[in-house]
Structure 1
Amino acid sequence: MTKKKNNTDILITHIIEGIEEVKGENIDILDLREIENTVCDYFIICDGNSNTQVNAIVNSIQKIVSKSLKEKAWHVEGTENAEWVLIDYVDIVVHVFQKHIREFYDIESLWGDAKVTSIETNY
């Protein structure tokens, strides 16, 4: 296993932990590595029930990743209205949606060739 792969797996684990910490829902990991001309290796997509919860998910992810891995996001956008916040960790891009915005944009269908892993939550 390469070092990059291992670091990516560790980052994914901490991002998921950040989402679950504040009860983010419908967590999907899209593996984009087999698709040509993608901007990153993975999308992690989840949703929250309000702009307050979306921002809480984003803050939780950033706090856990920063504390555990000493990594900061390369770019974050969308926190002003918190309907769709994007957190860019270069190899992994996290999309945190409000439910109705996620349904409207349906980015999973745009990446239909991606291998999707859904994370079960028990809350």
Structure 2
Amino acid sequence: MLATRKRNSVARLTRNSKIFKTIIQAIQEKKGEEIVSLDLRKIPEAVADFFIVCEAGSSTQVKAIADHIEESTKSNCGELPYAHEGRQTLQWVLIDYVNVVIHVMLPESRRFYKLEDMWSDAPQEKHTDQHTR
């Protein structure tokens, strides 16, 4: 299973990639907050090119953001997630598109797990609510 999960090093993503922009826009459309992308491309042990982390104010909003990401990515990019986790408790939903992994979290979960601190050697970019097409 790990072999099928391995990143495709030829088709590396950038912040200008269609799937990256689609995910950020989907989060913004559902009012996700504190959106940060971590560029993991220069970190050898990283499992993806990018992590995108955002917060939602309630478990209902976590679900709405996660659903909208999957719907937008399917309709705009023709991509389905490789996997997703956390839909049972809706405290932290992870959506894995192999080269980009999205973490939709409640504020308490984000403070507890501190993903940005764990990957502090990765360049970070905050994404404000600007709808760029």
Q: Give me the TM-score of the superposition, normalised by structure 1.
A: 0.92
- The reply to whether residue 71 of structure 1 matches residue 79 of structure 2 is yes
Secondary structure of 2:111 counterpart:
helix
Matches within 5 A, 1:1-123: 4-5=12-13, 9-121=17-129
Percent identity among equivalent residues? 37
The structure carrying a bigger helix percent of its residues is 1
Mapped partners of 2:75, 2:15: distance in 1: 15
Provide the secondary structure at the position in 2 that maps to 1:72.
coil
Question: Aligned letter for 1:57?
Answer: I
Runs of 4+ residues deviating >2 angstroms: 2-8
For structure 2, list consecutive stretches of 5 or more residues without a partner in the other structure.
Answer: 1-9
Hey, what's the Cα distance between the residues in 1 that align with 2:13 and 2:120? 23
Secondary structure (helix, strand or coil) at the match of 2:37 reads: strand
- How many equivalent pairs are there? 121
| 1:33 and 1:41 in contact (8 A); partners too | yes
Q: Secondary structure at the match of 1:23?
A: coil
What is the identity, as a one-letter code, of the residue corresponding to 1:111? W
Return the TM-score normalized by structure 2: 0.85
Bigger strand share? 1
Q: SS state of the match for residue 117, structure 1?
A: strand
Q: After superposition, give the CA deviation of every residue in 1:62-82 in whole Å (9 maximum; x if it has no partner).
A: 011101111100001101110
Provide structure 1 residue ranges, at least 5 long, that are not aligned to the other structure. Answer: none
